[in-house]
Structure 1
Amino acid sequence: MEHTPLSHDDAPARPASVAGVRRRTVLTAAGLSAASVGLAQTGAAAAGPGVPRSAPVTRPLPGSSQRVPVIGLGSFMTFDRRPGTDQSFIPAVLREFHAGGGRVADTSALYGASEKNLGHHARQLGITDDLFLTDKSWNCGEYLFDDSHVLRQFAQSLRHLYRRRLDVVGIHSMTNVGMVLPVLNRLRQEGRIRYVGLTSHESYQYTGMVAPISAGAVDFIQIRYSIFSRAAEAELLPLAADHGVAVMVNMALEKGRLHQVVGERPVPDFARAAGCESWAQYFLSYVAAHPAVTCIVPATTSVAHVRENLRTMYAPLPDPALRTRMLEYLQGIPEFARIASMSWYPGKSFDNGLVRLPRPHPAG
Structure 2
Amino acid sequence: MNETPHKTTMMTDRRGFLGAATAIGAVAAASMQGGGLGVTSAAAQTAASASAAGPVLTRTIGRTGETVTALGLGTFLTFDMLPGGNREPLRAVTKTYLDAGVRVVDTSPLYGTGEVSLGTFMSGMGMTDQVFISNKIWSTGDYLADESHMLRSLEQSRLRLWRDKIDPLFCHSLVNVDVVMPTLRAWKKEGRVRYVGASVHENTYHDILAGLIERDMVDVVQVNYSIFNRGVEDRVLKAAQDKGVGVFINMPLEKGRLHKITEGRPLPDFAREIGAANWSQFFLKWVIGNPAVTTALPATSNPGHAAENVGALRGPLPDQAMRQRMVKHMETIPGFTTLASMAWYPDKGTMYQGVIRRSQASLRQRLS
TM-score bracket for the superposition, by shorter chain length: 0.7 to 0.9
Query: d(CA) in 2 for partners of 1:126 and 1:196?
Result: 26
Looking at structure 2, the residues matched to 194 and 141 of structure 1 have their Cα atoms a distance apart, in angstroms, of 22
Deviation at 1:52, TM superposition (A): 5.9
Q: Would you tell me which structure has more helix in proportion to its own residues?
A: 2
Name the counterpart of 1:88: 88
TM-score w.r.t. structure 1 length?
A: 0.82
Q: What pairs up with 1:102-181 in 2 under 5 angstroms? A: 102-139=102-139, 146-181=146-181
In the alignment, what sits opposite 1:282? 282
- Counterpart-to-counterpart distance in 2, 1:213 and 1:319: 25
CA distance in 2, matches of 1:52, 1:144: 54
Distance 1:221 1:332 in 2: 32
CA contact (8 A) 2:80 2:112 kept: yes
2:335 maps to 335
Matched ranges for 1:339-350 at <5 A:
339-348=339-348, 349-350=350-351
Answering whether residue 353 of structure 2 is matched by residue 355 of structure 1, we say no
Q: Distance in 2 between matches of 1:284 and 1:7?
A: 32
Q: Residue 36 of structure 1 aligns with which residue?
A: none
The C-alpha deviation readout for 1:215-236, integer Å capped at 9, x for no partner, is 2110011000000000011111
Give the secondary structure class of the aligned counterpart of 1:352: coil
CA contact (8 A) 2:63 2:245 kept: no
For 1:80, the aligned partner's letter is: D
The answer to whether the 8 A contact 2:136-2:171 is kept is: yes
CA distance in 2 between partners of 1:157 and 1:9 (Å): 19
CA distance in 2 between counterparts of 1:198 and 1:291 reads: 20
Structure 2 vs 1, CA of residues 85 and 246 (structure 1 numbering), >3 Å: closer, same or farther?
same
Deviation at 1:209?
1.5
Query: 2:307 matched to which residue of 1?
Result: 307
Letter in 1 for 2:356: V
SS in 1 for 2:222: strand
SS state of the match for residue 356, structure 1? helix
Equivalent residue letter for 2:279: W
The residue that corresponds to 2:241 in the other structure is 241
**Residues of 2 paired with 1:90 and 1:306: CA distance?**
10
Q: Which residue of 1 aligns with 2:264?
A: 264
Partner AA of 1:233 in structure 2: E
**Equivalent residue pairs, number:** 318
1:74 counterpart letter in structure 2: G
Q: Aligned to 1:56, what secondary structure does the other structure show? A: coil
- Distance in 2 (alpha carbons) for counterparts of 1:154 and 1:168: 12
How far did 1:65 drift? Answer: 3.7
Mapped to 2, the partners of 1:210 and 1:268 lie a distance apart of 35
Q: Residue type of the partner of 2:263?
A: G
Q: Greater relative contact order (Cα 8 A, min sep 6): structure 1 or 2?
A: 1
Q: CA deviation at 1:271?
A: 1.4
Of stretches 90-99 and 256-265 in structure 1, the one that deviates more from structure 2 is 90-99
| Superimposed CA distance per residue, residues 301-334 of structure 1 (whole angstroms, 9 cap, x where no aligned partner) | 1222222111112121112221111101110112
Deviation at 1:145, TM superposition (A): 5.0
Q: CA 1:239–1:351 in structure 2 vs 1: closer, same or farther (change >3 Å)? A: closer
Three-state SS of the structure 2 residue aligned to 1:169 is: strand
Distance 2:339 2:260 in 1: 9
Aligned counterpart for 1:8 among listed residues 6, 9, 15: 6
Q: Distance in 2 between matches of 1:192 and 1:277?
A: 42
The 8 Å contact of residues 140 and 147 in structure 2, kept in 1 or not, is answered as: no
Summarize the Cα distance change of 1:143–1:327 in structure 2 as closer, same or farther, 3 Å threshold.
Answer: farther
Instruction: Identify the residue that residue 211 of structure 1 maps to in structure 2.
Output: 211
**Identity across aligned pairs (percent)?**
41
Query: Quick one: which amino acid aligns to residue 341 of structure 1?
Result: S
Q: Give, in whole Å, the separation in 2 of the partners of 1:108 and 1:8.
A: 21
Structure 1: gaps (5+ residues) = 1-5, 11-42, 45-49, 360-364
